[in-house]
Amino acid sequence: MPPFQRTSLLKRIFASKITLLLIACNVAVYGVAGFLDSRAFESLSQTSFLIDWGGNVPALTLSGEYWRLFTSMFLHIGFLHLAINMLALWSLGIILEARMRSGVFLGVYLLSGLCGSLVTALWHRDEFFLSCGASGAILGIFGAAIVYGLHDRRMGRPHIPPGNLLFSLVLTFGAGFAFDVDNAAHLGGLLSGALLAGIALYAERLRPVTAAVVLAATGTLSAVALAAVTLDNHDRDMQEQLAAAQFGRTLGKMGLLGSDQALWKASSLDECIAAALSAAVRDGSQTSDLRGCAKPGDRDLALLARFMPQQYERCHAQIAGLRKLYPAAAAQEALTAADQYCELQTRLYGAVFQKDAAELDPEKARQTRLKMNFLLDTRGMYRTDSAQLRAQAAALKAILRRPGELALAVISRSGCPYWSCER
């Protein structure tokens, strides 16, 4: 290749560096996420994969997981979805980025994408909706390209080829129709991109320092406005419901809400632990050897040894969150009892699967487990004269009844360890 051709190619690549970087980021996220999580390529598990990796689910986003507004911009449903969006971005980016400053181009892309994500979250806040993809940001670039193209045509300068605009539009909306249209993200991205482009064009008429101040102020104010609208629409009610639904799901896997929800063989192992503790209490023993509950070579028990401690760790974290959302005294006491139970179960699992017998107080362990069973008893199997315990039981059951259909749907479709999911 002649030297002048290499120089021309390098100039074109440098002029499109942000476009290439954005395409590389989208492709990298798709490749790395797919490599680390096989659910990316399984149709039955793709919803849970997208939720777990940062898809924009309005109920989750507006209840405090604001980072989903950003992460959802780099997630795609499949290779075709990714390829179509990246072709659309390339067809416009290589032209528009050369026309405007690279920093401004990046700002328009990111702010348009965030605006599109926020509009989606607000529009679909009362339903289960999952949005992901770069189309909102690409529509922002499309809106900016229209503004720049019309301006340049009016000024008699070389303008953005209409063919590139049409090609990008067809690709973006084609992807939308193929993978469900997120019109809210498209509209939010398009309008915000056009507005930001208008400000950028105005800045071109100013002196460099003044233009830099205007552009920096625009970016800052836009980000502040997006944050303000997001925080103003924080859904405390849904946050409470989701936290309770997550906690209920964890308790169910632990076998506390019925054996039908428990992880495989978790209930039978728990029965063995209960029997061993009761036997130790009857014999007056100060310790209990629980290693007999673990049968050598049992693959299912080996999986429980690996994954159940994760449930108990999750239980600790969820209770810490619930304490902030349910400040009533009875609820706090019930959550303390639940936290003590999860801590005990972690130690009991260690005692079951370790080589040496653990130092445990059988009576204290038995009472902690009985108290938790009483707090969650719905069939009247346990009795007490303590009004305080009855109040705690009522408070804990009220928390578990808190989730509505939407919260339960979101949590049920979220991910879980592959071996324990129903397929």
- Active-site residues, by number, are 135, 186
Question: Please, which contacts does 113-116 make with residues 24 or more away whose CB atoms are closer than 8 Å?
Answer: 113/70, 113/73, 113/137, 113/140, 113/189, 114/69, 114/70, 114/73, 114/226, 115/140, 115/188, 115/189, 115/191, 115/192, 115/226, 116/140, 116/182, 116/184, 116/185, 116/186, 116/187, 116/188, 116/189, 116/192
Note whether 215 and 203 are within 8 A (CB): yes
Q: Which amino acid, 109?
A: Y
| CA 131 – CA 177 distance, rounded (Å) | 13
Sequence-ordered list of residues with C-beta below 8 angstroms from that of 190, at least 6 positions apart, any chain? 112, 139, 140, 142, 143
| CA 96 – CA 104 distance, rounded (Å) | 10
CA angle 238, 240, 244 (to 5 degrees): 115
**C-alpha to C-alpha distances, 187 to 111, 136, 182, 190, 360, nearest whole angstrom:** 13, 8, 9, 5, 61
**C-alpha to C-alpha distances, 17 to 20, 91, 101, 113, 222, nearest whole angstrom:** 5, 14, 11, 19, 24
Note whether 97 and 19 are within 8 A (CB): yes
Burial class (CB in 10 A: 0-12, 13-18, 19+), 363: middle
